[in-house]
Amino acid sequence: MRFLLFPSTNSKFLSTIGLIFVIVGQVSRSLGMVTCGESFNHMIQKSKKNNHVLVTGGIYKYLRHPSYFGFFYWSVGTQLMLGNFISTVLFCGASWMFFHRRIPFEEQTLLKMFPNEYPEYFKSTIIGIPFIRTTGNLSPEARSE
């Protein structure tokens, strides 16, 4: 039905952009998981384990959240590849809202776990998802909340 109603959305260019997003997203996500090793978890850890370290090497040297970055672009890319603009917008919005809420919470948690290392790491890396910025509230008051 989409092919009949919206034939102009069947763009090889947009499908190629989508494929690039999928590849970059999957590579970023996979590198993040592998680089993080035992410190990677799908659940935000609220307390520091004995073997929990702040990973700052590999892909983490550039991206604070390569797994989130990767999933965001992977999910949008899959929809671009399919040429489904409604789903592209919905996937983009849903993913963005999820990470817009999750990333600031996780960053405050990491700041409490790594009060000496995280502020410097925070300043030297990016999130990479459009329009998601954390406050960067690295003050001692924010750490004790």
C-alpha to C-alpha distance for 106 and 91, rounded to whole angstroms: 22
| Residue that has been written with the tokens 């073997």 in this structure | 51
Is-contact 61 54, C-beta < 8 A? no
CA distances from residue 46 to 33, 43, 71, 87 in whole angstroms, order as listed: 19, 9, 22, 34
Q: Element (H or E) spanning 28, and its range? A: helix 12-36
Model confidence pLDDT, tens digit, residues 12-40: 898 999 999 999 999 999 999 999 887 77
All structural domains of the chain with their residue ranges: 8-37+60-144
Predicted TM-score of the model (pTM)? 0.83
Tell me which residues of the chain have a pLDDT lower than 70. Answer: 1-10, 42, 47, 135-145
Looking at residue 109, what DSSP letter applies?
A: H
